[in-house]
Amino acid sequence: MNEFTSNVIQIIQGIPDGRVMTYGQIAEVAGNPRGARQVSWILHSMSKKYNLPWQRVINASGKISLQGSEQRELLELEGVIFSAAGKTDLHTYRWHPVEG
């Protein structure tokens, strides 16, 4: 496994209940600011193997990317609130991991 993939897995595993991160944010923290699509692929292919809290990763506009999934319901159970338009407030719910 390469370093970026390992970093992405660790970052996603560290997102606490009731908080979210965006694909691009995770990519940047993991060391590749242009790697948002890679983050998506890692989530798709490794969520079960590494027990990743996939529901806590959303798009940059604060919306659910996986329409038809249980993602919104899982986040609401964790206390994340969505507007009628299906957006969550990233200023309130975005997680900023401590780097270093």
pLDDT digits (tens, 9 = 90+) for 34-81: 999 999 999 999 999 999 999 999 999 999 987 778 999 999 999 999
Instruction: Give the gyration radius of the chain's Cα atoms.
Output: 13
Q: Identify the band that residue 2 occupies on the pLDDT scale cut at 50, 70 and 90.
A: very high
Give the C-alpha separation, 52 to 48, whole Å. Answer: 7
**Quick one: pLDDT at residue 100?**
45
Which domains does the chain possess? 3-93 (1.10.10.10)
List the structure tokens of 83: 């507007």
Q: How many CA atoms lie within 13 A of 67 on its CB side?
A: 2
68 C-beta neighbours (distance < 10 Å), count: 6
**Quick one: pLDDT at residue 1?**
82
**Quick one: pLDDT at residue 5?**
96
Give the C-alpha separation, 90 to 94, whole Å. Answer: 5
Q: Average pLDDT in the 4-26 region? A: 97
